[in-house]
Amino acid sequence: MKTLLFGGSFNPPHMGHLILADEAMKEFAYDRVLFVPAWKPPHKEIHSDPGPETRLEMLRSACEGQDGFEVEDCEIRRAGISYSIDTVRYLVAAGKLEAGPGFLFGADLAEDFGAWKEADALARECRLILMRRDDEEISNFPWPHLELRNFDLPLSSSLVRSRIASGGAWKYLVPPGVRRIIENRGLYGYR
């Protein structure tokens, strides 16, 4: 089964995540997208974190009933800092992933990709696919990669959190199950 990995904090998962995953799955002919929520990403801090288990629960709710979308919880179970190369190797060794999967990540992370743990190995072991935000140019990225011609949707988890905290409109930026979890638990300052 041809698999595309899509990792992140998913704090919270929103419609943009699902749209990007669907676009990449279709454009590059993947059979499934395996969403991998991080316990703790090495390259950024998770703001207003409701906890890894809650982020995992929201992501499972977001993907429920979506054809070709699955959630893998290995980084949550492993705890600690989540390194992509460790996750890829674990999933291949455990038989949960074929060798040479796709690896989807934002072009905003491309500049620092060389600082990732075993970046060269990750580029050899995966098919790197970069997605853009705000028509950003992807230049000087020396590793073989593909670029997703994605729909430019100015939506981010930080925007969703900010709108929730300020009492702004946010309910249709996330899948219904995610909205229910946020409301029922008062996450991100919901009142």
Residue 7 clears pLDDT 90, i.e. is over it: yes
Closest CA to 6 of 129, 152, 98, 157: 129
What is the pLDDT of the chain when averaged over all its residues? 93
pLDDT at 134: 65
Q: What is the pTM of this model?
A: 0.94
Nearest to 157 by CA among 9, 12, 44: 12
Mean pLDDT over 14-36 rounds to: 96
Q: Distances in Å between the alpha carbon of 59 and those of 113, 167, 191? A: 25, 23, 22
Please give the average per-residue pLDDT across 7-36, as a whole number.
Answer: 96
Task: Please indicate whether residue 4 or residue 110 has the higher confidence score (pLDDT).
Answer: 4
Lowest mean pLDDT among 68-72, 101-105, 118-122, 154-158: 154-158
Q: Which domains does the chain have, with CATH numbers?
A: 3-154 (3.40.50.620)
pLDDT of residue 64: 96
* Average pLDDT value for residue range 133-150: 82
DSSP string, the chain: --EEEEEE--SS--HHHHHHHHHHHHHTT-SEEEEEE-SB-SSS--TT---HHHHHHHHHHHHTT-TTEEE--HHHHH-SB--HHHHHHHHHHTTSS-SS-EEEEEGGGGGGGGGSTTHHHHHHHSEEEEE-STT----S--S-EEEE--------HHHHHHHHHHT-S-TTSS-HHHHHHHHHHTGGG--
Q: What is the pLDDT, as a whole number, of residue 68?
A: 97
The pLDDT tens digits for 115-138 are 999 999 999 999 999 998 766 677
